[in-house]
Structure 1
Amino acid sequence: MSVGLGLPIARPEALLTWARRADEGPFTTLGLLDRLTYDNPEPLVTLATLAGATSRVRLQTEVLLAPLREPVLLAKQAATLDRLSGGRFTLGLGVGGRADEFDLVGADLRTRGRRLDEQMKIMRDIWAGGPVGPAPAREGGPEVLFGAFAEAALDRVARWGDGFLCAAPIAWAARLFDHVRTSWAEAGRAGKPKMVAQVNVALGGESTVDEAKAAIVDYYGFAGDFAAQNAERMLTTPAAIRAAVAEFTALGADEVMLYCWSPDADQVHRLADAVG
């Protein structure tokens, strides 16, 4: 089982330390979320910086809100990051759902799914040898994963992606995984989709855990009860983390991302010890 590490957003200046420590092992991927109207670092710029500070670990947006962005430039940015990282970049994409962010860039929230499909066609054409360079390190473009919950959005994995980012609790995951696999087969895709699960974590004393839970509630505050539920589901012991990794492995996950909400860089070593 591959285990990745989701990076906290509270102290962007500390992320180089996080990345260097994670690159020493055992983590396979560094993930970074995306929001526009929030005090988080821009993910593509940040991951490009972290690519230069690492040599082994993969770099992943988790997830980039594609409908807020112009697709030709996004294709160029993604290809550049893939090229400069030596093919270590994964473009995790989602549609988003905050009206204020769509209003800010003049995009239509109601048509965001359709827009993402249109964007993927443009980007795939560019990565296949279109007029915009550089060519990505990976033929056909960087690895693309989609984060989704609704069935129509899950079907996008088979149309445009390489796999699925599951940010749902284990109780929901089996149904989502099954839908993605069925859709993939019905589309006639060869092989199988990559399955990546995500769980929220923080290890340490009561103050560390409370700080991490407060960060989740603040970040997802727009989602009402979902924010508090996310905080309560956060895993706070090594045993709980190992159990979640084992459960997702049993469901067929190829990787589990431990998304850490504590900004303390010592979390890297604590989580590494937890997963062995």
Structure 2
Amino acid sequence: MHFGLGLPIGSPEQLTDWARRADDGPFRTLGLLDRIVYDNPEPLVTLAVLAGATTRVRLQTEVLLAPLREPALLAKQAATLDRLSGGRFTLGLGVGGRADDHQATGTDPRQRGRILDEQMTRMRRIWSGAEGIGPSPATPGGPEVLFGAFADPALQRIARHGDGFLCAAPPQWAGDLFAKVERFWTDAGRDGRPRMVAQVNVALESDVDEARTAILDYYGFTGDWARQTAERMLTTPEQVREAAKHFADLGADELMLYCWGTDPGQVDRLADVVS
């Protein structure tokens, strides 16, 4: 099983340092979340900067809120990032659940699933060269696409349009979600198996309090969910190793260790744990 690193949003100017450290370490992927009405860096722009600061590690949106974006431009941006990074880009997508993001972009949250399905059909056409919108991505057919999801209709989208699953659920829920994704994949007649990527929140040593505060602020609109998410954050090497074993046993291909504290030393601490 591979390991990835989720990047913090609290100090964007430090992210090139995070990326270079990760590029020299055991991590396969760098992930970055997406919001509109929040004090976070825009992920496609940021990952383009980090692509230029690295040579090996992959870049991944985790997840980009696709219904908030126009599909032709999004397809062009994703293809450009994939091309300029030498095929190191993964487009992780979700629908977005915060009303303020949809209000800011003028999109109807009640139609977000339908919008995403239509976007994926259009973007696959663009990446195939059918609409004359370039550049061609480095990855044939377009960059790898993963979907973050919980509900069955969203999990079925993985089989229709995607290459794999981004699972942000705790380990005790992940097994059922993995099984559903694999069943929907088989039912759709897809060959092989979907790529399974899990995510846990982490902070080691000095960053724990800062990270919990950041989680509570980011997920504050969810009430108890925010508190539970902060409490579930992994704060010791032993917890990280235990979670890694659990997800490996479930068949995860990669575990993203999402950092909420801003100290770049987290990269080295986590590298020591997973090496």
Q: What TM bracket, shorter-length normalisation? A: over 0.9
Q: What's the offset of the Cα at 1:101? A: 1.1
2:257 alignment partner in structure 1: 258
2:246 alignment partner in structure 1: 247
Q: What's the offset of the Cα at 1:224? A: 1.3
Q: What amino acid is the match of 2:138?
A: A
1:272 alignment partner in structure 2: 271
1:171 alignment partner in structure 2: 172
- CA deviations on 1:232-273 (whole Å, 9 max, x unpaired) are 000000010011011000000000000011100000000000
CA distance in 2, matches of 1:260, 1:118: 33
Taking every aligned residue pair, what percent have the same amino acid on both sides? 71
Q: What amino acid is the match of 1:223?
A: T
Match of 1:139, SS? coil
1:60 alignment partner in structure 2: 60
2:7 alignment partner in structure 1: 7
Q: Which runs of 5+ in 1 are unaligned?
A: none
1:214 alignment partner in structure 2: 213
CA distance in 1, matches of 2:222, 2:142: 33
1:228 alignment partner in structure 2: 227
Q: What amino acid is the match of 1:230?
A: T
Does 2:149 align with 1:148? yes
Q: For the aligned residues, what is the CA RMSD?
A: 0.5
- CA deviations on 1:3-55 (whole Å, 9 max, x unpaired) are 00000000000000000000001000000000000000000000000000000
- CA deviations on 1:83-138 (whole Å, 9 max, x unpaired) are 00000000000000111111111100001000000000000000011310000000
1:191 alignment partner in structure 2: 192
| Off by >2 Å, runs of 4+ in structure 1 | none
Q: What's the offset of the Cα at 1:151? A: 0.5
Aligned length: 274
Match of 2:205, SS? coil
CA distance in 1, matches of 2:265, 2:136: 37
CA distance in 1, matches of 2:104, 2:211: 28
Q: What amino acid is the match of 1:213?
A: R
Q: What amino acid is the match of 1:36?
A: I
Q: What's the offset of the Cα at 1:275? A: 0.9
- Trace 1:129-148 onto structure 2 (pairs within 5 A): 129-130=129-130, 131-148=132-149
Q: Which runs of 5+ in 2 are unaligned?
A: none
Match of 1:83, SS? helix
Match of 1:253, SS? coil
Q: What's the offset of the Cα at 1:214? A: 0.4
Match of 1:86, SS? coil
Does 2:3 align with 1:17? no
CA distance in 1, matches of 2:66, 2:223: 23
CA distance in 2, matches of 1:95, 1:30: 21
Match of 2:60, SS? strand
Match of 2:201, SS? strand
Q: Which moved more, 1:100-109 or 1:247-256?
A: 100-109
2:201 alignment partner in structure 1: 200
Does 2:93 align with 1:93? yes
CA distance in 2, matches of 1:155, 1:191: 16
Q: What's the offset of the Cα at 1:142? A: 0.1
CA distance in 1, matches of 2:168, 2:139: 26
Match of 1:156, SS? helix
